[in-house]
Chain A
Amino acid sequence: MTLLPTTILDVFNEPGCARNASKSNVERKNGCTKQLKPGGAAGGCAFDGAKIALQPFTDVAHLVHGPIACEGNSWDNRGSASSGSDLWRRSFTTDMTETDVVFGGEKRLYRAVKEITEKYDPQAIFVYQTCVPAMIGDDIDMVCKAASAKFGKPVIPINAPGFVGSKNLGNKLAGEALLEHVIGTGEPDYTTPYDINIIGEYNLSGELWQVKPLLDELGIRILSCISGDGKYREVAYSHRAKAAMMVCSKAMINLARKMRQRYGIPFFEGSFYGIEDSSDSLRQIARLLIERGAPAELMERTQALIAREETKAWTAIERFKPRFAGKRVVLITGGVKSWSMVAALQEAGLEIVGASVKKSTEKDKERIKELMGQHAHMIEDMSSREIYKMLKDAKADIMLSGGKSQFVALKAATPWLDINQERCHAYMGYVGIVKLMEEIEKALYNPIWDQLRQGAPWDEFDWKRQAKTVAQMDVQVVDPVRGATANGVKTISFSNRSEIGDGESAIAAHGRNLVEPAKPCTNSTARGPACKDTFSDLQPSALQAAE
């Protein structure tokens, strides 16, 4: 067993990572990610990362050892698809109580493993460590070892408590856990020269199945996918693969590199997003397999398949070109998806006016620059307010991003498309890219945008009337009853505005233009001393008129 700090140092020392290689020794010790800024941080913790990376294993019970927050607030939130067991979608947690925090949670954890074994009898149990039990010193490695011996099934400790770092570090720690406890513990029934591993692919919306038929056609077998639609047994014998493709480059590079080191499995970094990237990846797979002893004719068959699929995809995309001419896209997502998406979108004739490079390496950035030209905006770390302004000023026609930033675009009445993990469509391979184009077209040309960009009919009307009211107010102030009546009527019409803005800002906005007695009481939010006397001052006739 290696200690967690040692593992983390080892992960930070990743020689396979281009970005890491360019750092000084001191920098490297500080870790991959920027130090998190309190009050200005976003994104998940290491536990989140570990769970993301491993949860797609379908026949494993994922047991979270911690208080309810870690699992209760987060379970069943990802769209990985399974071709078999649905065990992975069930949620298991020790839901630690105050008593456990005081007396230690190890016994509870052991009993939890026992209950799961008795009730669900899974292939394996993954036990995730979280902050609170890590603080009080619960030794999950020891509990897992004991439980494993007692119940005769793999109980694997995943040591990535949230506070050790970011989501990305969690991905890597999950990889380390697989290397230490799972990979190499099983043997496949048979092997072929065409066996590959796919690493860092989570089968979101079932998109792996957009690519798998192509591999099937070529006779290439996915020996193990880590972890989309994965099974425990498959990971256990994944060391028998001939080659590997690493999909999400930053997430599990340590796993790919160490498998090369230990088992001699060569890997390449590729992507199935976009036509050219898909073709490239297929060629790379064929190349590596041939290097490891597969017949050379595999390359010919691969090339033929690529030619066929590319023609089909290009033809399908052709029809979007006139629709996309002159349309500008902002792309805000994690590093690897950025550059592979950029190529894909350009293939369809879209202009990329900005792409986020927050998680990209220097090499990625150069590639993006190369693809997009010097004018494109590389978004290092853009605040929501800036993005909103960019969209509101119509600098882009559509934004593609992850779920959390979608409302920035939608509230700016700008088309938006989800390309992160919560999305409901699959965009991989040659069919996926056409699907993406379809979705972009649907979003761009939906008739709602024109309707939403128009203001409410009374907007302009109100402002005119308001100016008139202000002018009249000085005259009417001598007659308090009439004055109040008139103001009351106006008040209601102002309040319509408050339904489009929020109540408060509506008041603030009108405050500039109105003299004190007419300060409107929005009927949706009667609030504050400003509103105090408005209603009681109104005459019944005024109220009727108002309604």
Chain B
Amino acid sequence: MAIVTASKKACSVNPLKMSQPIGGSFAFMGLRGAMPLLHGPQGCASFGLTLFVRHFNEAVPMQTTAMNEVATVLGGLENLEQAILNIYNRVEPEIIGINSTGVTETNGDDVEAFIRLIRQKHPQLEKLPLVYVSTPDFKDAFQDGWGKTVARMIEVLVAPVDAARPRDGSRVNVLPGCHLTPGDLDELRTIFEDFRLKPSFLPDVAGSLDGHIPDEFTPTTIGGIGVDEIATMGQAAWTIAIGAQMRRAAEIMQARTGTPFRLFERLCGLMPSDEFIAFLSEISGRSVPSKYRRQRGQLADAMLDAHFHIGGRKLAIGAEPDLLFDLSSFLHDMGAQVTAAVTTTNSPVLQRVRTEDVLIGDLEDLEELARSRDCDLLMSHSHGRQAASRLNVPFLRVGFPMFDRLGAAHLTTVGYRGTRDLIFDIANLIITDRETNHGPTPDSWPSPAVTCRSIRPSCIEQEEKPLG
């Protein structure tokens, strides 16, 4: 049982955390034809936008109600109305996803009421889904914003089901946490399809942010799950939630539609992948395809090859709770010691991280802990780069944002294949570090008695005399 503590500092230095409104907007980006809208000053959207663009190297849709000082005093109804109408007229979205920010929450804007008024006034918006989620900046973190937003999408967009109608046994709802990349989702999609299951990913950022080139330029998202498909998710036989942040969404789905769910807190590593594949085999009634039997063998072999390098490493990891839990557990299973763990927000999984204490803090905390506890492997998002270079330890970028390396969208860590590749990446990083920084020299293993040979020239003469 890890003890979870929160940092007592007044000043957060080198934040690990990002705000929850942009976590919410990120969830909307996994919907087709969507326009995420931040209800707040334009900077909130601009910062978020820049962050996503730098991470994905993609055009990212995101709009703002551009609240200025006066609008803030008067309330945001007019700005929200104008924003919705402008987006509706200019980009013809299939859905507008609205998240509140610190300013509009401090102000106390009743956005649900605003939306009702706006709908009354503008009947042309009748068919346009408007999903609103309350996500103040001064509470919680990125992954909470994502979780809340997906939960709200289900409440608003999934149609109630007719209990008498039989469920579609081949359909599965997948609710991925925000720590899964488009690459992860594609890998999962392939696995589902190999079991002849038809997955509906909510949200599906693989459809929109996987880097494909569209035929037409559109200002909204260029893929992802459609509102029409979300409406029918109640017909699926199962819901699979990935990451503890998705538990609430899965529960709401179950309450609304009666679809049972299974939560997978981890998908990286041999045992979690076994559990996952066995479950799919069970619900699909199909035996495990030979492809996965082979992949399992490859993963086992990778573990054998890499445990020499990864075993005994002292890991310092800074990540959001679900990613932290997944990756630290996997490295623990590879023989590494989780020596320093820092996260952004509270979560039930934190107590089960395989270490002594987990700190809700920032990258300064992580750097200090890594230094004092002598860690020799660092994992965090790209902002950890400064700490890594000061500590001079191997550094693996994980999670969001990853703005100083390419291919963040395709980094895959789920399933046998994803785990296998991650193992190789980590082991290679460690090998490179050993070659660069820890190559042996004649003085690598000094004896405590003989500090330096040159101090005792008499010894050398005595030895050499008989030979001469």
Near B by CB (< 8 A), chain A positions 94-115 give: 94-98, 100-101, 108-109, 111-115
The contact string, 1 if C-beta is below 8 Å from chain B, for chain A 59-80, is 0000100111111111111000
Least CB distance from A74 to B in Å reads 4
Near A by CB (< 8 A), chain B positions 189-213 give: 189, 193, 196, 198-200, 204, 207-208, 212-213
Instruction: Give the docked Cα–Cα distance between A161 and B141 (Å).
Output: 22
Least CB distance from A500 to B in Å reads 7
Whether A41 pairs with B66 at a CB distance below 8 angstroms is: yes
Which residue of A43, A97, A503, A527 is within 8 Å of B138 (Cβ)? A97
> Is residue A192 within 8 Å, beta carbon to beta carbon, of the partner chain?
no
Whether B51 pairs with A74 at a CB distance below 8 angstroms is: yes
Instruction: Give the docked Cα–Cα distance between A145 and B81 (Å).
Output: 42
Binding site for B on A (CB under 8 A): 36-48, 63, 66-77, 86, 89-98, 100-101, 108-109, 111-116, 119, 131-132, 135-136, 161-166, 383-385, 388-389, 392, 403-404, 407-408, 411-413, 422, 499-505, 523-529, 531-532, 535-536
Q: Could you say which residues of chain B place their CB within 8 Å of the CB of A74?
A: 47, 50-51
Least CB distance from A505 to B in Å reads 6
Task: Decide yes or no: A39 and B214 within 8 Å by CB, A89-B386, A95-B15 being known contacts.
Answer: no
Whether A100 pairs with B42 at a CB distance below 8 angstroms is: no
* Chain B contact residues: helix, strand, loop or mixed: mixed
Instruction: Give the docked Cα–Cα distance between A413 and B212 (Å).
Output: 12
Question: Assuming A36-B68, A48-B46, A69-B18, what are 18 further A-B pairs, CB within 8 angstroms?
Answer: A41-B64, A42-B42, A63-B11, A69-B137, A73-B19, A76-B383, A77-B51, A89-B386, A92-B11, A101-B106, A112-B11, A131-B103, A135-B72, A163-B69, A383-B219, A499-B212, A501-B215, A503-B223
Least CB distance from B402 to A in Å reads 13
Which residue of B9, B43, B137 is within 8 Å of A68 (Cβ)? B137
The contact string, 1 if C-beta is below 8 Å from chain A, for chain B 98-126, is 00011100110000000000000000000
Near A by CB (< 8 A), chain B positions 1-25 give: 9-15, 17-19, 21-22
Whether A41 pairs with B10 at a CB distance below 8 angstroms is: no
> Is residue B84 within 8 Å, beta carbon to beta carbon, of the partner chain?
yes
Whether A531 pairs with B198 at a CB distance below 8 angstroms is: yes
Q: Could you say which residues of chain A place their CB within 8 Å of the CB of B328?
A: none
Q: Could you say which residues of chain B place their CB within 8 Å of the CB of A63?
A: 11
Instruction: Give the docked Cα–Cα distance between A75 and B386 (Å).
Output: 12
Q: Could you say which residues of chain A place their CB within 8 Å of the CB of B54?
A: 77, 403, 422
> Is residue B226 within 8 Å, beta carbon to beta carbon, of the partner chain?
yes
Whether B59 pairs with A90 at a CB distance below 8 angstroms is: no
Q: Could you say which residues of chain B place their CB within 8 Å of the CB of A536?
A: 170
Least CB distance from A307 to B in Å reads 41
For B, the interface residue count at a CB cutoff of 8 angstroms equals 89
Instruction: Give the docked Cα–Cα distance between A39 and B68 (Å).
Output: 13
* Minimum CB distance partner of B39 in chain A: A38
Most buried by B among A43, A131, A383, A404: A131
Which residue of B49, B53, B69, B383 is within 8 Å of A164 (Cβ)? B69
Whether B17 pairs with A68 at a CB distance below 8 angstroms is: yes
Whether A69 pairs with B47 at a CB distance below 8 angstroms is: yes
Could you pull out 15 A-B pairs where Cβ atoms are within 8 angstroms?
Answer: A38-B80, A42-B46, A43-B42, A67-B138, A101-B106, A131-B103, A161-B69, A407-B57, A412-B217, A501-B212, A505-B214, A505-B215, A525-B204, A526-B199, A527-B200
Which residue of A98, A383, A501, A527 is within 8 Å of B136 (Cβ)? A98
Least CB distance from B283 to A in Å reads 15
